[in-house]
Amino acid sequence: MKDRVAAVSTGHEADQTPQGHRALRMRKRQRLIDACISALHLYGPSRTTVEKVVAIAKLSPGIVRFYFDSKDAMLVASLSYLAAEFEERVLGEVARLKHAPARALERLVELYLDPEIASPRKVSVWYSFWGEASSRQEYLQICGKKDEDFAALVRELIDGLMAEAGLHHLDADAISLGLIGVLEVLWQSFAFQDEADIDRAAARRRTMAYLASVFPGVFAADTRLQSTVAVTEVHATASRAVAADRGESEGALPPWAYRSAALFELERERLFRPAWQVAGLDSQLRRAGDFLTVSWPWERALLVRAPDGRLHALRNACGRQPHALLEAPAGHVEQTLRCAAHDLVYDLAGALLQGATPGDLTQLELTQVGPLLLVRSPQSAGAVALPPAVPVREWPQLQVARTEVMTVDADWKLLVEQWLEREWADRHFLSPNQLIDLSADGPRLMQVVPEAPGRARLVCLTLRSGRNRRAPRSASDSELGAEIALAESTQRGLDALPVERDDAGPVSPPLRRFRAEIAMLLSRIVSAPTIVR
């Protein structure tokens, strides 16, 4: 468990640290790479020049020499960036689902055709390197092994699916090659279209139709039939959940609710964006200029204490482009917030002092309950009020003794359901995803953050009073490690389950209410034109 924990510093760090300079250099280097990808899309490798790249990046030509030895080095870095992105966001995520090959193949299709991966701009770069004789060797050096890994992964998933279905008479090599061919043909079509003209839903249907033609018992060929089945399931789930909230039944969610991309998007907009999230403690922001940054999939927050002593919660995003103004989780700045990339300067209340930009930084909603600082997105539809009794008001002055961030290969809802399985006198749930645990050696606040369908991040703040100097116990060495392992094991089991799921034993009222809330979101998916699991 220890190797999956990333400790986050909570000390103050100067704005001009070597780490800060490295972060700025990395941002400028990435800006050049992004501009180079755009130039490659427009001109191809042979006609892309340094002048064209810096014109797109809006930087001076001389700056390229600080980051790349030559134009060719910049071109290679751009292809390497795309290859690493594909490996991390497609190969990595799909490989984690190998225990459920059907779901893994569905996810492979979703990710391979995702606009973030398969935009016309990025796809054209792949093919420009592959197609030009002068750059083909660079393509093979950078992407050859990854292409082989991708083909091997597809073959492994097809093998696993054939074994599960008992279809040993099929030719796994031919099926794998056919799937890769379908995806490649679709990518080629993307390279010659504008994004507005691409019908990605149709591309997914065509790919899944190929899989359904080979595995008709596993994949439904007609997407309309899939939608009808899903609608029936959603109505049934919602009915069960409403009945559960009345104490009439248990209201378990269907297995696909823990891996649904459509539900993930709805949860982000309807549950998390309107909800208060703990961002830190007031004791972490003692002096003017002290700051904290927190990043969630739906918001990036910057909390800072201004010279007048007031706390401000700002969206941690430059007014020109949505990159983070401050990358460190905590630290100290003097007087102003700066965006060196665009020559913008803001005061610590977010007001623009210098530069041309649409205006001030976006203010987030901020409130304080005892020592806890909570934020949420501004003017959130359906904004959620704080619970009437948050059990922290009478705590003594608290400090963050340890911050731990743990990856969880399971849906966030599974951890919450485990928290709510029974009612605890010393555990207090803050909907939809936070738990104050007073049962540990010291107070502990846990926040489970959804990262993707079936994957989450658990942030654990172990707290202590200023008088208590005893080293806190690591969350990874406690029962929390067992809770994460149980959630991950449950996720793997749900990935392999059919539609229905029954819970044995009684279900606590808080858990019934939580499932009823999720079931109401499931019912909203019915109105969508396509059900995406």
User: Cα(260)–Cα(452) distance, rounded to whole angstroms?
Assistant: 9
Q: Label residue 337 by pLDDT band (50, 70, 90).
A: very high
What percent of the chain shows pLDDT beyond 90?
29
Give the burial class of 59: count Cβ atoms within 10 A of its Cβ; 0-12 exposed, 13-18 middle, 19 or more buried: middle
Residue 359 backbone dihedrals phi, psi, to 5 degrees: 155, -155
What H or E segment, with its residue span, contains residue 204? Answer: helix 200-214
Mean of pLDDT values over 356-384: 81
Q: What is the pLDDT of residue 308?
A: 93
**Which region holds residue 157: left if phi is over 0, alpha if psi is between -120 and 50, else beta?**
alpha
Compute the 3-state secondary structure of the chain and give helix, strand, coil in percent, each to the nearest 5.
50, 15, 35
Residue 490 near residue 95, CB atoms below 8 Å: no
Reply yes or no: is the peptide bond before residue 432 cis, omega within 30 of 0. Answer: yes
Of the listed ranges 231-235, 362-366, 524-528, the one predicted with least confidence: 231-235
Across the chain, what does the average pLDDT equal?
79
User: Cα(371)–Cα(54) distance, rounded to whole angstroms?
Assistant: 47
Question: For 421-460, how does the pLDDT look when each residue is reduced to its tens digit (9 = 90+)?
Answer: 988 878 889 989 999 887 756 688 999 999 988 999 999 9
Mean of pLDDT values over 148-171: 88
Of the listed ranges 58-67, 78-87, 210-219, 365-374, the one predicted with least confidence: 58-67
Q: What is the pLDDT of residue 135?
A: 59
Mean of pLDDT values over 128-140: 63
Amino acid type, 373: L
Residue 96 or 470, more confident: 96
Q: Label residue 19 by pLDDT band (50, 70, 90).
A: low
Question: For 267-304, how does the pLDDT look when each residue is reduced to its tens digit (9 = 90+)?
Answer: 988 899 889 999 999 989 999 999 999 999 899 999 99
- State how beta strands 372-376 and 444-452 pair: unpaired
Q: Tell me the domains of the chain and their CATH numbers.
A: 26-214 (1.10.357.10), 276-383 (2.102.10.10)
What are the residues facing 345 on neighbouring strands? 338, 354
Q: Label residue 233 by pLDDT band (50, 70, 90).
A: very low
User: Cα(414)–Cα(411) distance, rounded to whole angstroms?
Assistant: 6
Whether the predicted pLDDT of 527 surpasses 70: no
Q: Label residue 170 by pLDDT band (50, 70, 90).
A: confident
The CA distances from residue 356 to 44, 188, 376, in Å, are 33, 40, 27
User: Cα(39)–Cα(140) distance, rounded to whole angstroms?
Assistant: 21
Q: Label residue 16 by pLDDT band (50, 70, 90).
A: low
